[in-house]
């Protein structure tokens, strides 16, 4: 029973990747179509289908996550594979959620592309079968601490997509990137609106990350006897927090808005990826829960 659910989850993960790929193609076709009409940023009919396909992918992905949780009898974020699976789900969810509030479909290609890459890497490299939890992880703080970390990561990823678009758009506004292949940027809002949007998303990510660090500290006090001990994961969480604190200040500082702030945001997201992908696998420390 458990095993079959587990394989259903894996099949669903692969299906979600296939559906996301279709969504990615449709998002790109839309951008290309918009670029052809030169300067016009009216969405093509492909955009609606892209969004519909993305929602379908999200539903399948959600199913993969839930079946994984049921087969493991716990939250689906107790090892690297599960973290990646859930964080990507949150990323797509954040993107869909933001669209209810404001039209950001233009970064759909970015988001779906990133989701495919992330899911692919996670499934191929980090997949582990469901296994029991060591005593240190059997705690409700696992639910809280990792959940807010997943949420923070999802918002940081969306913010990074917007900051990257902002950088390209700003170069284009300055007269660079005028070739045909960059014309899709005409479908994007001005770099200033992209920055304002990225800022709002990243600030939410920052709040979640603050909670991640605090919940982690409380748990560390329970499990390891100290709330902060500069474990490698703690070091990198601190680095991420500090970089995004710098980003938030940059937004309020003359001479640092615009490009420098966006670069800081991307460096910050780079640190998030590093903390997940590199620190988990190659660094020694107390957070040895990759399951690999």
Determine contact, residues 98/201, Cβ cutoff 8 Å.
yes
Candidates 20-28, 147-155, 171-179, 206-214: pick the segment binding another protein (CB under 8 A): 206-214
Q: Which of 22, 117, 143, 245 binds another protein (CB under 8 A)?
A: 245
Q: Does 229 bind another protein (CB under 8 A)?
A: yes
Cα torsion 247, 250, 251, 253 to 10°: value is 170
211, 273, 277, 290: residue in contact with another protein (rule CB under 8 A): 211
Closest CA to 112 of 26, 186, 207: 26
Nearest distance from residue 9's CB to another protein, in Å? 14
Does position 5 interact with another protein (CB under 8 A)? The reply is no
- Which of helix, strand or coil describes residue 57? helix
* Interaction between residue 199 and another protein (CB under 8 A): yes
C-alpha–C-alpha distance, residues 9 and 5, integer Å: 6
Place of tokens 């296939």: 18
How many residues lie near another protein (CB under 8 A)? 56
| Least Å from the CB of residue 33 to another protein | 29
Asked whether position 100 contacts another protein by CB under 8 A, the answer is no
CA angle 119, 51, 37 (to 5 degrees): 115
Q: Return the number of the residue (180 or 284) whose C-beta is nearest another protein.
A: 284
Taking the C-alpha atoms of 60, 130, 231 and 276 in order, what is their torsion angle to the nearest 10 degrees?
Answer: -30
Q: For residue 29, what are its two tokens?
A: 């076709």
The Cβ-side half-sphere exposure at 222, using a 13 Å CA radius, reads 15
Question: What does the per-residue mask of binding to another protein show for 124-153, with x meaning CB under 8 A?
Answer: ----xxxxxxxxx-xx-x------------
Structure tokens at 219: 């748990």
One of 243, 262, 266, 272 touching another protein (CB under 8 A) = 243
User: Pick from 29, 70, 214, 288: which binds another protein (CB under 8 A)?
Assistant: 214
Kindly indicate which of the ranges 33-41, 80-88, 177-185, 281-289 contains the residues binding another protein, using the contact rule CB under 8 A.
Answer: 281-289
CB 139 to another protein: min, Å: 5
Q: How far apart are CA 246 and CA 257, in angstroms?
A: 12
Question: Does position 236 bind another protein by CB under 8 A?
Answer: yes
- Identify residues 37-96 at the interface with another protein (CB under 8 A): none
Binding mask 257-276 for another protein (x = CB under 8 A): x------x------x-----
Please identify which residue in 177, 232, 277, 290 interacts with another protein, judged by CB under 8 A.
Answer: 232
Distance CA 95, CA 151 (A): 12
Measured in residues, the chain has a length of 292
Work out the burial of residue 100: count CB atoms within 10 Å of its CB; fewer than 13 is exposed, 13-18 middle, 19 or more buried: exposed
* Gap between the Cα atoms of 176 and 170, Å rounded: 9
Is the torsion defined by CA of 267, 270, 275, 281 positive or negative? Answer: negative
> Whole-number minimum distance, CB 230 to another protein, in Å?
5
In angstroms, give the least distance from the CB of 266 to another protein: 13
Chain contacts with another protein (rule: CB under 8 A): 128-136, 138-139, 141, 196, 199, 203, 207, 210-211, 214, 217, 219, 221-227, 229-232, 235-236, 238-239, 242-243, 245-246, 249-257, 264, 271, 279, 283-286
């Amino acid at each position: 029973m458990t095993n079959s659910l587990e394989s259903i989850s894996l099949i669903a993960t692969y299906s979600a990747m296939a559906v996301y790929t279709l969504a990615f193609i449709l998002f790109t076709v839309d951008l290309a179509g918009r670029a052809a009409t030169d300067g016009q940023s009216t969405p093509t009919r492909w955009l609606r289908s892209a969004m519909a396909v993305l929602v379908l992918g999200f539903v399948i992905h959600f199913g993969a996550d839930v079946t994984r949780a049921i087969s493991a009898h716990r939250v689906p974020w107790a090892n690297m594979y599960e973290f990646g699976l859930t964080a990507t789900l949150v990323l797509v969810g954040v993107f869909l959620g933001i669209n209810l509030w404001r039209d950001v479909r233009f970064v759909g290609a970015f988001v779906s592309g990133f989701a495919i890459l992330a899911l692919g890497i996670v499934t191929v490299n980090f997949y582990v079968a469901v296994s029991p939890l060591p005593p240190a992880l059997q705690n409700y703080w696992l639910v809280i601490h990792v959940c807010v970390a997943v949420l923070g990561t999802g918002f940081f990823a969306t913010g990074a997509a917007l900051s990257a678009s902002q950088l390209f758009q700003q170069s284009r506004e300055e007269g660079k990137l005028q070739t045909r292949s960059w014309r899709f940027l005409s479908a994007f809002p001005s770099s200033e609106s992209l920055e304002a949007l990225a800022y709002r998303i990243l600030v939410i990510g920052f709040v979640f990350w603050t909670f991640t660090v605090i919940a982690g500290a409380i748990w560390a006090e329970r499990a390891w006897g100290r709330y902060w001990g500069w474990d490698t994961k703690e070091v990198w969480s601190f680095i991420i927090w500090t970089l995004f604190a710098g980003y938030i200040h940059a937004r309020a500082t003359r001479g640092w808005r615009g490009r420098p702030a966006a670069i800081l945001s991307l460096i910050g997201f780079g640190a998030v990826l590093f903390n997940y992908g590199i620190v988990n696998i190659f660094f020694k420390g107390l957070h040895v829960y990759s399951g690999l």
